[in-house]
Structures are given as structure tokens and as C-alpha cells.
Amino acid sequence: MQLYNTLSAKEREELIDKAGKKRLTLSFYKYAHIEDPKDFRDQLFITWNKLDVLGRIYVAHEGINGQLSLPADHFENFKAHLDEISFLKDIRLNIAREQDNKSFLKLKIKVRKKIVADGLNDASFDVTNKGIHVGAEQFNELIDDENTILVDMRNHYESEIGHFQNAITPNVDTFRESLPIIEEDLKDFKEEKNLVMYCTGGIRCEKASAYFKHKGFQKVYQLEGGIIEYARQVKDQGLENKFIGKNFVFDDRRCELITDEVIAQCHQCGQPFDVHTNCANDACHLLFIQCDECKEEMNNCCSTQCKEVHALPYREQKELRKGQGNSNDIFKKGRAEHLPYKKDLRNIFETLGKSPK
């Protein structure tokens, strides 16, 4: 029985083009107790492979985290299958604002220790004792309150291209880094301030809200459904949109347009630009922001050295990579020293211009 993807990305692209069907990109998550993640993973693959689902899904004892695409005409069958699983019945599905038939080209369902790497000892606190979930309207009211501290729970390369007005945007490379930083820098406001958090779809905030409540924060809120759901509600309800720029997404689209403002810059030349790319050198693959002009000049590479390597015949490139580790720390996205306009490391409060005190 087939339990793993057997087609290359190129072969899948050809099949998608040949099918000529509109596909939907969506995401969802759920914290739940899964007794046998491996068996659960295999059952999902069997069913979803038949529905032509493609994407990146993580399964763990603590739940499931999925970003995926599927043919639009298979959506109802997919939803019916989720409803057959007790803890996924009637789960909210975040439908992407901008659709792309090729947002995912493989079905990868992986068993992990956690559905989000957070570095936490979950046994020390109740992960179900989470903060208050709020929709777009209440979220807007809260962040207009001078008694609120708004925190972006995403990484620096995400907030760099788009974030909420007046949000604290910690300059961290991973989610696990942000938790102790936020706790330390906001320790004097545990009782008096509203701690309001947001992320892409809600999964990071859900764990963080339980963690911060455990650490003594009294008024903890999270944006229900994250930026994705906020954008939908703002449009459907005619609310004021307090998000500026693009929403970073973890698929081949790289981002979704929320507003027209471009708040980032090309890491190579400094001109306004806000779309990430991966360095074309297979030994690098650094994620960074590169404008169209630099992309053409540098052949989609992050440095002259990578450009020279990328121009070599494939066999020579492969020989050079033998026994070598990745040339960039995979978590230092856009932080390589040779990028003159990379985002600077700054204090957590610098985006506000002052401390909440």
C-alpha cells in the first residue's frame, strides 16, 4: 500500500496542468491527544492521497498542523472526512485569500514530537488553559486600548514584510526564542496590561497563550484564526483593516497580499520589495528578499559566490557539496552577513519607539 509521495515536483506540476482543475489552498490545526500518531498519519495519507491532497502536515501526540491544497471539487469530501474524526469535526479551515494551483506539489505527512517546535516542557503546565480567542472586531477594539500590549508571535522574516500597526515584532529566528524574551521584557505588566497576540493562523498563539497564563499573565488574548481569518472577517464585515503589508505563508506562494503598502526592502539593493525567495545554489537555499532586478542580475542567488557555483555543471556542484554542511544556518533566514540590507537586530520594543512603561 502506498504511504508516501512517489512523484517528483515536476511530474506533479504536469499532472496539475493536465487536470485543469481549480485548487484551494487552506490550513488548519488542532491541539488534541492522539494515541498513535504513526497510525493516524498513515490513515490520513491513504484517504487524502485519493482526494489529490498536496501539502505539508505534521502529526504528533499533541495534535495536527496542516497546510495543504486540494481540487476545489474535492473540498466537500475532504471536509466530510475531517468531520468523521471526532476532534476535527467542524474545525475551522483557513482558506487562503490568494489561490495558486501550485502552492504545494507533494503530499508530506510527517510524525513529529510536536506540531510546532516550541522548546517547552508541556508537562509543567496545562496546554488547554489557553487565552481568550477574539475575532477581528474585538481584536481591533483591544489593540486600540492604551492598556494593551500587542505582540507578533511570528519570526522576524515574517513580520518584516507585514504586521499589525503598533505591534511589538520580536527579532527572533524561531518561535521558541520569542517565548522567554517576551516573558522577560513584559514581566512588569503581568497583571495590569492586556497581552494580545497574533500569528499566521493561530497555532503558535494557542500554545503561547497557555504558556503565558502559566507564567502569571492575567489578561491573555489571541486573534482567532490568525491573520488569515482576520483578513477574511475584515472584508466580509467591512471592518477597518489594521494590518499593513503582506502575510508571509509557508508554501510556494511565499506571501498573501493584505494591503498595498510595501514595508520591506530587497536585501541586496535596498529598494522597496517584500517577496522572499530561496537562493538557487543548492548548497545554500538561504531565504531572503530579492527584487526582480537583483534576481535577474544575480541569477536568483544571494551572493556572487553562490552565483558562480550555481553556474557550474550540476555534477560539479554535486561534487563540491560532498561532505559539506549547509553553507547557512537554516534558521538565520535573511541574516547572512553578505546581505547589505538585511533586517537589523533590534530590541523587542524598538518597533514601538519606546517601552510600554
Q: Which residues are catalytic?
A: 199
CA 186/CA 225 separation, integer angstroms: 24
Contact 326, 306 (CB under 8 A): no
CA 215/CA 245 separation, integer angstroms: 32
Nearest to 251 by CA among 111, 133, 94, 136: 94
Contact 230, 223 (CB under 8 A): yes
Calculate the CA dihedral of residues 250, 251, 257, 263 and round it to 10 degrees: 50
- The gap from C-alpha 2 to its chain's centroid, in whole angstroms, comes to 29
CA 111/CA 234 separation, integer angstroms: 35
Nearest to 204 by CA among 26, 27, 24, 25: 27
One DSSP character per residue, 23-45 reads EEEEEEEEE---S-HHHHHHHHH
One DSSP character per residue, 58-125 reads EEETTEEEEEEEEEGGGHHHHHHHHHTSGGGTT---EE-SS--TTS--SEEEEE-S-SS-----GGGS
Contact 156, 177 (CB under 8 A): no
The SS3 call for residue 212 is helix
DSSP 251: S
